[in-house]
A and B are shown apart, each in its own frame.
Chain A
Amino acid sequence: MIKYLVRRLLYAIPVLLGVNLITFILFFSVNSPDDMARAYLGQKYITQATIEQWKKSHGYDLPMFYNSEVSGIAKLKETLFFKKSLSLFAFDFGQSDSGRNIGDDIRHRMFPSLAIAIPSLLLGLFLNMMVALLLVFFRNTYIETTGVILCIVLMSISGLFYIIFGQFFVAKLWRLVPISGYLSGIDGLKFLILPVLVAIFSGLGMGARWYRSLFLEEIFKDYVRTARAKGMTEHMILLKHVLRNALIPILTGVVVLIPSLFLGSLLLESFFGVPGLGSYTIDAINQQDFAIVRAMIFLGSLLYILGLVLTDFSYTLVDPRVRLE
């Protein structure tokens, strides 16, 4: 199994190289560094000299892939692709276009993202499972039909509206929690309530419906029939047998998300003024700070691949039939 995991992790390298190549081509070939400098300095009244100066100060004055002016291995090393893209592999994120150290920013902004992402994931998971179990318990009744339609209704509301209406009603009209902001430590708890609630409810429709279909798949299997024949009550069957067996796909579906929790949520963080990585990314997009976007893309892909490997690994933990070869 160690061998399998090592192979999977090694396979991540060409994938990440591909990711880097795509972002590099997007950022440097479609927009040459000259275009970037022009966009950054403003269109009017700039001379070629100021452009060159900007490029030099931000390290964009190198050739793309191959530097013929130097000798030896430096031919490949003294290039934009190596300096700006491949250095990400060493977690050297470099400087943003506005001159800040990206690595430091990421390390500081990780925790606010996690403060929202972890409670929303756990509470959301619990609520989704409870609602789905209830729907399955009341199957073939009007309660189920109504519940399923309600789930579709919840799914049909854009996430933006959950945030906007949540802020308007809960925070502005009823004044239960602050509208936005963030504090670290226990005092900051009141700032987290609304974003977590919004995250849970915007995912409830989709999640509950999905878990319901997983439970329904289990409920027609033989072992359930056996349990029923033994005279087990329906709710005991659901909690003892169906829930446990359906936990396998549920858990592995969640495990893939865990590494990406670091990145936070783009929308929630920017609406609620949380200084996490999600709002960091949005700000970078709005300011067209490509160095940050490049770093976040790399980080996101890395965490996603890590999630996939963890998923495979978690299969072996929860399902003894699965062996990784």
Chain B
Amino acid sequence: MRLVFLISDYFLFFLFFVFLFFLIRALNNPVSRSSWKRVFYHPWGLFSILILFVYFSVALLDSVHFVTKIPSSQNNHVFYSNDAKSLLDQLIFPIGTITEKTYSAPFATTLYTKQTAEDKNGNLIRTYLPLLINKNKTHLLKTSHIIWVFVNTGIVSLLFGAILFSLITFLFSLKRKLSFLQAFKILFNPHGGFPWKTCVTTVSAILFFFSIFYLFSGDYHIFGTDKVGQDVLYEALKSIRTGILIGTLTTLVTLPFAIILGISAGYFGGWMDDGIQYIYTVLSSIPGVLLIAASVLSIQIYINNHPSYFLTMNARADLRLVILCFILGITSWTSLCRILRAETLKLRELDYVHAATLLGSSSWRIIKNHLLPNLGHLILITIVLDFSGLVLAEAVLTYVGVGVDPTTYSWGNMIDTARLELARDPVVWWPLTSAFCLMFIFILAANLFADRVRDAFNPRSTT
């Protein structure tokens, strides 16, 4: 086994460490710590953070790629498989490894459409073939049994939640020297304290879904299979990394442009301001999708004309994803740049900046010590607000044909291939519904989080 790194892996881990760095800095700063507290101590805020944590963990696990050895006859020479697996594939092991012939519904035991097969006497018949995944299972579950397992898992999760909450209440009562009932009342209705109720409910719900996946993934395709027999749940899970990469890497690309150009335009003024304003007026007056389409098409033709630069299909698809992020970043820094320029113009005229100038501080020092800290909340709010839009943009761009490579797992690709399946008879609804659910939960969490962050970090907000 040998670790391999795709280009996007480097970026994701780099982003992860940048995130950790800022997290530690934010925790050491009392002002931002109190703002973050307001995010965490709000039920929606906590809910969204927990959901986002699960999604980001999946994305990070999916970014640790390795190739396995291929057994070979030559002893002194080691061959590695061409096809990189990720840690996530290993963790969710049975999911995604068994490929059926074609469509099969969620929790089905047979294919969705009739196939021609031979019966015992050797006659050709049209029948629903059994699935590979539960072909030789002796304990083939009936529908009532599936429901029974669902209900049981639900009850266990509820019990787990209740026990966890009682445990927390017990520890809380010990710490505050209260009776159990009093402690329970405080924790159940925290009035601005840490929302343990939301925390426990969300954790139990996440646990419920994990248990369902764990219990059924060996015997069933939980979300069914798509046209080529690929497990839909696997596709939807692998798509998380693509969505997150597009959201975060694009932000990373926009930041230097927006911050450096925005602050210099606002602070130095003059010809620099004119020039930077001209650049962003030009860029923002081009319709976004068209500019992205034009760039992607050009790059695509370039890649097609120089196939020798890219070793494997995998690396090529990955490179296209990274390039897409860069293009999205270069076309979308203008709004943040405009905000930062306007705010810098305001800050520049404040007394303490004048004082610093009189004391002989260099421009760099003023920008670093006086302007940047006062722009931080604006940058944070804009990043977080734009994140969900970027993930949604991927789906639209992929539909238009200028998004990620068709071989990359992504929600956009899933929607694009599945959108005609609703027109089939009988309807194939599960690939689209799965993509919808996983995407919706993620975007919802990101939007709720953005909403809370905006409220908590906006100095003008009163609530």
Q: List residues of A whose CB falls within 8 A of some B CB.
A: 14-15, 18-19, 22-23, 26-27, 30-31, 35-36, 38-39, 149, 152-153, 155-161, 164, 167-168, 172, 260, 263, 266-267, 281-282, 285-286, 288, 290, 293, 296-297, 300-301, 304-305
| In the complex, B79 has a CB within 8 A of chain A | no
Are the CB atoms of A39 and B304 closer together than 8 Å?
A: yes
Contacts of B392 in A (CB 8 A): 158-159
Closest 5 CB pairs of A and B: A18-B282, A300-B287, A30-B298, A156-B444, A156-B443
- Which residues from chain A contact B396 at a C-beta distance below 8 Å? 158-160, 266-267
Of B282, B299, B419, which is within 8 A of A30 by CB? B299
Q: Which residue of B lies closest to A14 (CB)?
A: B278
Q: Which of B280-312 contact A (CB under 8 A)?
A: 281-287, 289-291, 293-295, 297-299, 301-302, 304-305
User: Given that A156-B444, A164-B432, A282-B400 are contacting pairs, would A297 and B301 also be in contact in the complex, using a CB cutoff of 8 Å?
Assistant: no
Contact A300:B395 (CB < 8 A) given known A26-B298, A30-B298 = no
Query: Given the complex, which residues of A lie within 8 Å of B283, measured CB to CB?
Result: 22
Is B3 at the interface (CB under 8 A from chain A)? no
CB of A255, distance to nearest CB on chain B (Å): 16
Q: List A contacts of B443 (CB < 8 A).
A: 156-158
10 further interface pairs, Cβ-Cβ under 8 Å (given A19-B282, A22-B282, A281-B290): A18-B278, A30-B298, A156-B443, A158-B439, A266-B396, A293-B297, A296-B290, A297-B294, A300-B290, A301-B285
Could you tell me the dominant secondary structure of chain A's interface residues? helix
Interface positions of B (Cβ within 8 A of A)? 44, 278-279, 281-287, 289-291, 293-295, 297-299, 301-302, 304-305, 388, 392, 395-396, 399-402, 415, 419, 422-423, 432, 436, 439-440, 443-444, 446-448, 451
Distance of A286 Cα from B400 Cα, bound (Å): 8
State A160–B395 Cα separation when bound (angstroms).
8
Contact status of A155 and B447, CB under 8 A, knowing A168-B422, A172-B422 = yes
Indicate if the CB atoms of A15 and B282 lie closer than 8 Å: yes
With both beta carbons as reference points, the residue of chain A lying nearest to B388 in the complex is identified as A156
A residues near B448, Cβ cutoff 8 Å: 152
Q: Could you list some 25 contacts between A and B, CB below 8 A?
A: A14-B278, A15-B278, A15-B282, A18-B279, A23-B294, A27-B294, A27-B298, A30-B302, A31-B298, A35-B301, A39-B304, A152-B444, A153-B444, A155-B388, A156-B444, A156-B446, A157-B436, A160-B419, A161-B436, A282-B400, A285-B293, A285-B402, A288-B297, A301-B285, A304-B285
